[in-house]
Structure 1
């Protein structure tokens, strides 16, 4: 009686079937989100060219009077323009992209893949952060050329403030994109950006706005982000109030997004 030993199938060198590790799937999605923004002419206009235009234009066109509280014009403007850059990507760009992905069924399809809903959202957030790095490099180089002298001790605080602002505005973007029709999101996201730039306390401190609106602007995420960035880069410290406002908006908007976001 003879016996046959079991043998393993030969190794052909072919890759094993199955999904990639979670971190690789998220990284691939983040890279896709980043490329999608940076290759889109309209998105480049909003995320890079608009903040750059504001920085150079407001610094050079002195017809617009600013109360800089003793700081140079470029030192005063740069923190607010960096805050605008965060808003343009985390709010406007992300809201529009997500809304049209939702309308076209992309969100529903991607949520059923191994990437999953959590991986898809993580990829979107990382994509936003990657674009913000590109924005920061462009704007910081331009500001330095124009004579900007930030408080070096406040740079880490400015990064933390930008992350808090990104969290709040990304939550707002997902809430809008997940509850409204894509065409409505397109109009609303652009309108929100313009209104917040003009009257949201981001370029001009809320305290400099007229009447009771100064108190309202201070409680908006735009005003809080602008004050946090100015505190960090002008004074080397961030007031507690703006940080609490940004955290509160992030929690509330995050809860609302989790509650009402629709994937299709």
Structure 2
């Protein structure tokens, strides 16, 4: 009897916090990737953008000497991937989880609010890693040959971009209704992709509009990644802009996020 009781006690012990966070992260990742609409946003559209920018002459006027279309296109498409996963994808999922009471339920479990947020962040990193592999692999097949150091340097830069956009996405998802979150995040995704300095440098925009767009996290992210891959440089001002957006958005999220 004592042996059975001991065995039952071992099996009834709650999982550790890291194990709970990893389980939540796996769930969030699989949910994002399996959803048809999310898969279109996370994978298909960025790949189509990469191919479209490479086979057309849209980026020719922005190419530095010796750079190919792929060299200019890949950094922007990688930023678009981050916006898709950290901003739109996770924001929409969080908004509907909040609507259906999932967030309220999970926040009262042993996972807790901190564990739930950590699981979401890890899921974003996992999806971003998948996107990076697919986009860079596609680009390599098309003839892209980046500097290895630029590839390594881009990883922490993309994490900074992800932190900033996750904060903004969570703020919207935690303060607006799910339907409004869905509409706003999708509209903002299109606006940033088209004229937010992501795929095209802000020099393509009129003067004062260009100056305003430069202050957006999308334009800062685009400049940061293009500086990394095209010039092998760390763009300080765009990095500071992203850091400010990250701090302010997460501070606002902590203050105003509603779990119900």
TM-score, scaled to structure 2: 0.95
In the other structure, the counterpart of 2:3 is 11
Alpha-carbon distance between aligned partners in 2 of 1:228 and 1:160, rounded to the nearest angstrom = 11
In the other structure, the counterpart of 2:239 is 243
Q: Which moved more, 1:129-138 or 1:151-160?
A: 151-160
Alpha-carbon distance between aligned partners in 1 of 2:152 and 2:209, rounded to the nearest angstrom = 30
Quick check: 1:61 aligned with 2:56?
A: yes
**Which of 86, 90, 102 in structure 2 is aligned with 1:106?**
102
Q: How many residues align?
A: 256
How far is 1:63 from its partner? 6.2
How far is 1:11 from its partner? 2.2
How far is 1:156 from its partner? 2.4
Alpha-carbon distance between aligned partners in 2 of 1:53 and 1:66, rounded to the nearest angstrom = 21
Alpha-carbon distance between aligned partners in 2 of 1:195 and 1:66, rounded to the nearest angstrom = 21
How far is 1:142 from its partner? 0.6
Q: Deviations over 1:134-174 (max 9, x none)?
A: 11111001101111122322222211110000000000110
How far is 1:62 from its partner? 3.0
Contact 1:154 1:235 in 2 (8 A): no
Alpha-carbon distance between aligned partners in 1 of 2:169 and 2:34, rounded to the nearest angstrom = 20
**Rg larger in 1 or in 2?**
1
Structure 1 moving runs of 4+ over 6 Å: none
Task: Give structure 1 stretches of 5+ with no counterpart.
Answer: 1-8
In the other structure, the counterpart of 1:83 is 79
Alpha-carbon distance between aligned partners in 2 of 1:78 and 1:66, rounded to the nearest angstrom = 16
- How large is the RMSD of aligned CA atoms in angstroms? 1.3
1:1-264 equivalent positions in 2, closer than 5 A: 10-12=2-4, 13-14=7-8, 15-62=10-57, 66-70=61-65, 71-264=67-260
Alpha-carbon distance between aligned partners in 1 of 2:164 and 2:64, rounded to the nearest angstrom = 28
Alpha-carbon distance between aligned partners in 2 of 1:63 and 1:175, rounded to the nearest angstrom = 34
CA, structure 1 residues 72+190, in 2 after alignment: closer, same or farther (shift >3 Å)? same
Q: Deviations over 1:190-234 (max 9, x none)?
A: 001010111110111123322212111211100111111111111
SS in 1 for 2:184: helix
TM-score, scaled to structure 1: 0.94
